[in-house]
Amino acid sequence: MQISTRELKASLSAVLRRVRAGEEISVTSHGKVVAHLSPPPPEEAQVKAVDRLRRQAWAVVPDRPPRKLGLANPVEWRGTGASFTDLLLEDRD
């Protein structure tokens, strides 16, 4: 299904219910697709993605519960030097 940004603004809750039910929706602006809305991957796919991250040399996925809301399995920087947040803030300045 395709929906314009104007229609999306007017019926966001209804659109999100359809996505939650499994439907994929393309959002258009001036007739061009600018985004795709789809349900999140199954829990199994998320677990596999975290397992792939655990095998990377540059990341540590802690086994302890997360300190912040949001990510179920936050990724911490293992390298030396500035953190990702520091680099991002520097880039924004």
What does the domain layout of the chain look like in residue ranges?
Answer: 2-37, 43-92
Mean pLDDT on 4-12:
95
Structure-model confidence comparison of residues 61 and 3, the more confident one: 3
**pLDDT score recorded for residue 41:** 76
* Separation of alpha carbons 86 and 79, rounded Å: 13
Q: 9-23: per-residue pLDDT in tens? A: 999 999 999 999 999
Nearest Cα neighbor of 27 from 19, 75, 85, 73 is 19
DSSP category for residue 4: E
Which pLDDT tens digit goes with each residue over 45-93? 777 877 787 777 777 666 665 555 555 555 565 666 666 677 777 777 6
The residue behind tokens 């991250």 is 53
* Residue whose C-alpha is closest to residue 55's, from 75, 38, 41: 75
